[in-house]
Chains A and B, each alone.
Chain A
Amino acid sequence: MVKGTRDTADDPRTEAAAPTAEARRADRGQVVARAMDSCARAMESGVAFSRRKLRAGELGSLPVVLVLAVVWITFQSLNENFLSPRNLSNLSVDIVGTGLIAVGIVFVLLLGELDLSVGSISGLAAAVFAVLNVNNGVPEWLALVIAVLAGTAAGTVQGYSFARTRVPAFVVTLAGLLTWNGLMLYILGTSGTINLDENGLVADLTSYYFTHDSVAYGLAAVSAGIVFLVSYQDRRRRMAAHMPHRSLQVIVVRAGGLAVVAFATAYLLNRFQGLPLALLIFLVVVAGLDVILRRTHYGRQVYALGGGIEAARRASLHVTRVQTAVLAVSGTMAAVGGLFLASRITSVSQSSGSGVLLLNAIAAAVIGGTSLFGGRGSTWSAVLGMLVIQSIASGMAITDTPAAVQFMITGGVLFAAVVIDALSRRSQEAHGRA
C-alpha cells in the first residue's frame, strides 16, 4: 500500500512533454491525443523502469503475486465457492495470527538471521493471558498487555544474548524454542486447556466485524488518498528543488491501482459480514512497520546490518542495540500473533504455538519475497506469503484434499521462492560485475 517513493528514479522527462509550436495551434482533439500520448509515454517509462529493475534481479513481489493468481484461478476452477465473499472473508481473518508472527520474522530475516522461537513465544503469550485472565481474574486489557510484554521480554533476552555472544540467532532461538515452550507448559500446569471468554476482548479480536458498509469503503478511500497525497507532496518538494521526480501520471496510476484493489476488497468483505477487525489491525501494523523500516533511522540500520555487518560497524551503527531490538520486535509480534490465534479458537492449550505454526510463519515471509540472505524484503511480504499459504490450505479444505497433499504443495511453493531468491541475488551480483 504505502509502497512509497523509494524507487523514484522515473524519467523526469516524461513530465516535461514540452509544448511545441504545433501543439499551440492544436484543437481539442489534438489535446486529447497529446494527453493520451504522454500517458502512454508515462506507462512506457514505467515499464522500462520495471524491466531495468527485473534485469537487475529485483523481482520484488511480482513472483508471489503470480503464484497467488495461479492458486486462486486453480481452486476457483475446481470449486466455485473458493472466491466467494464468505470464503475470502474467512481467509482474510485466518491469515492474521500467523501473518503477524511472520511480520516479526521479516525483521529477523532482514538481518540475515532466523528466529525459531516465535512459535513457542506465541504459545507462551497466549498461556500468560489465559492464566492471568481466566484463572486469576486479572482484567482483560491488563492481561493482554502483560502477555504482549512477556513476548517482548523473551525476544529481548534472546536478542541481547545473540548480539553479545555473536552466536547465530537460530541457535539462540532454538534454545528459546525449548525454554519458552517449557515455561508455557509450566504456567499452564495441569489444567491443560483453558477456554477464553467467548464475548471478551481477545475473542473480539477475530470475531468482530465492522458491519456498516461505509467503514470498509471509507478506509479504502482514506488509504488511497494518503498514498496519493504523500507521493504528490514528495513530487512538489522535488520539483521545487529541481530534482528528478515522478510524473503525475505515474502517481495517479499507482494511487489508482491501490484504490482499485482496496475498493474491490472492501466490496467483497461488505458482501459477507463487513470489514473484520483482525484484518484491519493486521494491515495497519504491516503498513506502520513498513514505514518504520523504510523511512526511519532505525529501519535503515536494520537493512544496513543485513547488507554488511562489518560495513555497518565501521559506519558506527549501534550493532548490538539494533540486533537486540530486532529480536525484541519479533518476540513482540509473536506474542501478538499468538493472542490472535488463541482468539480464533477461544482457547489456549498445551499445543498452542506448536506444530507447523513456526514453519508457516517463516515460509510466509520467504514466499512473500523477503530474502533469506538478509537485507532485502518488506513487511508486505508477510501478507502476500500468508495469503498464498492460507489460500492453498483453504482451497484444499474446500476441495476435500488430504493435508498430506497440502504440505507437499506448500513445500513446493516455498522451495520455488527460495530458488527465486537465490537466483535474483546471483543476477544482482552478476549485474555488478558487468
Chain B
Amino acid sequence: MSAPPLLALHGVCKRYGAVEVLEDIELEVHAGQVVALLGDNGAGKSTLVKVISGVAPADRGVIEWEGRTVHIRRPNDARDLGIATVFQDLALCGNLDVVGNLFLGREIRRFGFLDEMEMERRTLQLLEQLTRGVPELRAPVVSLSSGQRQTVAIARSLLGDPQLLLLDEPTAALGLQQTTEVMDLVDQLRDRGLGVLLISHNMGDVKALADRAAVLRLGRNNGFFDVNTASQEQIISSITGATENTPRRPAHQESGW
C-alpha cells in the first residue's frame, strides 16, 4: 500500500513481572479501515489496547504513527497523536455528570473558570449525532444505564477528533438495539476516514464490520485474515488454536514452513 499505515506495531513486547503477556506483536491499522482484534480470554487483547493507549507502555518494540517512530509512554502521548480509547471498563468517573466526564482533563475554560455552558452545548451536539436517546446531561454517570454509559464513553473518545479509535468490547454490555447503534457508528467513523481497532467476541459483528482481523493467541500473533475472504471456521480455529499442533509456536514461523 502506498500510504504508510496509520498505526504499525513491530515486535512489541510487554511483561507483567515474570509473565510475558505480549511477545513480538505485529499489527497494522490503516485509515478508513476497521481491524478486528480477536483472541481467546487471556490472549492479550486488552493489554495490547493498554499498550497503544499509553496506560501500560510497551517494554520493547517499535510503534510507528503514519510512518514515523513514536514513543507512547503516557495516556497523554496517545491522545496527542490522535488515538482515542474506549476501555472495557469504560473508565468513567461515576460521581461526575455526563458533561464532566466528556471533558475530563480537557475542560473548556473562560476567564480561568470552567465554561459549563459551552461544554454542555458541545456535549449535546456530539451526543445527538451518536444516539437517539440522549441521557440527562447533568445526572451523575453512576445513575445512567449501562448502554447510556457506553454512549458517554464513546462520545468522550470522539471529542478530540481522533484519527484512530480503540474499542475494547464496546458491545459486551449492550442489548440488541444499542449494539446496532454502536455498530452503525463504527461504520460511520470508518467512512469518515478513521482507523478503528475493534475488540469483539461477537463473530457476527466482526464479519459485518471489520475489513481485516488480527488474531492473538497466548500473547503472540496467530494469523491475519481478510474478513471478506476468510471463512468463519478458519478464523475461529485460529483463535482456539485448533489448527496448530503446537499452540506455542508463533504464527509467522508457521506460515514460513
- How far in angstroms is the closest Cβ of chain B from A422? 14
B16 proximity list for chain A (CB < 8 A): none
* A139 to B112 CA separation, bound complex (whole angstroms): 36
* A89 to B121 CA separation, bound complex (whole angstroms): 45
Per-residue interface assignment for chain B, residues 93 to 122, with 1 indicating a CB less than 8 Å from any chain A CB and 0 otherwise: 111100010001101010011101100110
- How far in angstroms is the closest Cβ of chain A from B231? 37
A315 proximity list for chain B (CB < 8 A): 75, 91, 104-105
Contact of B95 among A296, A317, A376 (CB under 8 A): A376
- How far in angstroms is the closest Cβ of chain B from A47? 17
Known: A5-B116, A9-B136. A428 touches B142 (CB 8 A): yes
Contact of A234 among B117, B137, B138 (CB under 8 A): B117
Known: A312-B93, A428-B142. A304 touches B104 (CB 8 A): yes
A429 proximity list for chain B (CB < 8 A): 142
B104 proximity list for chain A (CB < 8 A): 300, 304, 311-312, 315, 317
Residue of B nearest to A315 (CB): B105
* A307 to B116 CA separation, bound complex (whole angstroms): 19
CB of B145 within 8 A of chain A? yes
CB of B92 within 8 A of chain A? yes
Count of chain B residues with Cβ under 8 Å from any Cβ of A? 37
CB of A237 within 8 A of chain B? yes
CB of A51 within 8 A of chain B? no
- Asked if A314 and B91 sit within 8 Å, CB to CB, the answer is yes
Which residues 244-298 in A have Cβ within 8 Å of B in the complex?
291, 295-297
Which residues 303-333 in A have Cβ within 8 Å of B in the complex?
303-304, 306-308, 310-317
Contact of B94 among A234, A238, A307 (CB under 8 A): A307
Contact of A314 among B55, B138, B139 (CB under 8 A): B55
A234 proximity list for chain B (CB < 8 A): 117
CB of B79 within 8 A of chain A? yes
B53 proximity list for chain A (CB < 8 A): 314
CB of B5 within 8 A of chain A? no
Residue of A nearest to B55 (CB): A314
CB of B224 within 8 A of chain A? no
Given contacts A9-B136, A241-B121, A307-B94, 11 further A-B contacts (CB under 8 A): A58-B140, A238-B117, A297-B114, A300-B107, A303-B95, A308-B93, A308-B95, A311-B90, A313-B75, A315-B91, A316-B76
**24 A-B interface contacts by CB (under 8 A):** A6-B116, A9-B136, A9-B138, A56-B139, A56-B143, A57-B143, A238-B117, A243-B121, A295-B114, A297-B107, A297-B114, A300-B104, A300-B107, A303-B96, A307-B94, A308-B92, A308-B93, A311-B93, A314-B53, A314-B55, A314-B85, A315-B105, A317-B104, A432-B143
The chain A residues found within 8 Å of chain B, CB to CB, are 5-9, 56-58, 234, 237-238, 241, 243, 291, 295-297, 300, 303-304, 306-308, 310-317, 374-376, 428-429, 431-434
The chain B residues found within 8 Å of chain A, CB to CB, are 53, 55, 74-76, 79, 85, 87, 90-96, 100, 104-105, 107, 109, 112-114, 116-117, 120-121, 124, 136-140, 142-145
